[in-house]
Amino acid sequence: MDESRAKKLGYMVVISSWLAVFVLFGYRATFSVLLGPMSESMGWSVSQTSLGYSLMMSVYAITAFFSGMIIDKWGTKPAYLIGSVFAALGFYVTSLTSSYVQYLAAYAILAGIGTGMLWVSSTISVRKWYVGKYYAKMWGLAFMGAPVAQVILSLKLKQALLTMDWREAMQGLSLVVLVALIIAAIIAKKSPEQYDLKPFGLETLGPAKPEYNWTLKEAFSKYAIWGSIFAFLTSMVAEFLIWTQIIMYLTNDVKMSLDGATNLYVTIGIAGIFTMPLMGIVADRVVGKLGHEIKGRKAMLVFAPAVGVIACICLLLTSNAMALGIIACLLFAVYWAIEPGGVAGYAGAIYGRKSLGKIWGLATLIVMGIGPAVGSFMGGYLYDISGSYFNSIVFALCAFVASAIIAFLLPLSAEPSRTTEDVELKA
């Protein structure tokens, strides 16, 4: 196969991942907009309505583990197809519900399965095609789907709710996610080896070594994956605390108007459209300069939460200088552009591509099953006991510090208990 054809296949992988990330983060962005109209229309409290999203994230985390197994065996096409059906049904069936139990079942289960098929599949598919100093840039392009969804879908949905009911808006969203994921499934590709190709950037990793097929037991007996999990988990706790509480902090503690606070929050998404590919380029250049992918990914995993710490400090000082609030949001966009894909890149550099799906699927189950819930809960709990969101932001700052320390202690290798040659001889 000629090089131009190979590049086109790689670009299709990135585009399909972009669409998957767009839908995944579109669910997150649209829920915050739909929360008020849904609770008012159905007569539920905000906390009751929010429980649907919390349960959805739990189902999402469990599904993510199984999606990793699907990817290792059959590629991303079936994951995207399953995601298209359930993600569309998540919106559509929820729009038809008339009771609270029906709402919880429809949104949590259907949307949870649909979105759970998207994160591991999108990150791993890019990693299978791009390694070395090519991975972060291409993942950054794919991850642009997240801020685009946050900005476009949330703003368009707000506008739509001025002229239609939330049920009609959800039905429109069901069509959007169905079309997006069907296109993603059509253009998605299997691993490059299925096309007699090698991943882009393989030559930057030094002498080629045979891929080792890690079992979950072997992989999770190493500190590398647990270090990755805890570095990612502490960052996720901080991230979700900020995402869920920043508007309340700005309106309650800083005394900004709701419109002003919302516009400042949207700044993170707008900046993310640019920081995703830019920070990917930076990360790949760090890898190239160090001449060692694991060292480069590790360095970026220290840098990302350190940026989060500075962003939290700026946020805490916003009441004294409003410009610091803008700087904080820009810095959060920089952090966001590095951390999620960076951890997957580090794990991929350690464990290789052959069995990364199931390994990262289980890691995602642990991180996303705990991080979002703990971060969101701690933000509200610390406000309840103090009457201020100041302590919530400080908690996020400390979580970012913990993530940076854990990342600094990450190992540069993980040796399997058996060699590839041993496995082949035994077979």
By C-alpha distance, which of 332, 364, 120, 100 is closest to 232? 364
Q: What is the pLDDT of residue 204?
A: 65
Give the pLDDT confidence of 351-369 residue by residue, as tens digits. Answer: 988 788 889 889 988 998 8
Query: Which region among 79-88, 309-318, 356-365, 374-383 has the lowest average model confidence (pLDDT)?
Result: 374-383
Q: Look at residue 197 and give its three-state secondary structure.
A: coil
Distance CA 249, CA 186 (A): 43
List beta partners, residue 200.
Answer: 130
Distance CA 139, CA 83 (A): 20
Give the pLDDT confidence of 44-97 residue by residue, as tens digits. Answer: 887 788 788 888 888 998 998 888 888 888 889 999 999 999 999 999 999 999
CATH number 3.40.640.10 is the correct assignment for the domain at 1-192: no
204 burial (CB, 10 Å; 0-12 / 13-18 / 19+) is middle
Q: Look at residue 130 and give its three-state secondary structure.
A: strand
Distance CA 384, CA 56 (A): 25
> What is the rounded average pLDDT of the residues 325-341?
93
Q: How many other C-beta atoms can be found within 10 angstroms of the C-beta atom of residue 323?
A: 9
Distance CA 380, CA 212 (A): 45
Q: Give the type of residue at 363.
A: A
> What is the rounded average pLDDT of the residues 203-213?
68
Mean pLDDT score across all residues of the chain: 88
Q: Look at residue 409 and give its three-state secondary structure.
A: coil
By C-alpha distance, which of 297, 329, 353 is closest to 13? 353
Q: Give the type of residue at 128.
A: K
What percentage of the chain reaches a pLDDT higher than 90?
48
> What is the rounded average pLDDT of the residues 312-326?
88
Distance CA 86, CA 350 (A): 33
CATH number 1.10.10.10 is the correct assignment for the domain at 212-420: no
The domain locations on the chain are 1-192, 212-420
Cβ–Cβ < 8 Å for 403, 238: yes
Q: What is the pLDDT of residue 423?
A: 44
Q: What is the pLDDT of residue 427?
A: 40
Q: Look at residue 200 and give its three-state secondary structure.
A: strand
Same fold flag, 1-192 and 212-420: yes
Cβ–Cβ < 8 Å for 323, 264: no
Higher pLDDT, 408 or 376: 408
Give the pLDDT confidence of 128-172 residue by residue, as tens digits. Answer: 899 888 888 999 999 999 999 988 888 888 888 888 899 999 999
Query: Which region among 83-97, 334-348, 367-381 has the lowest average model confidence (pLDDT)?
Result: 367-381
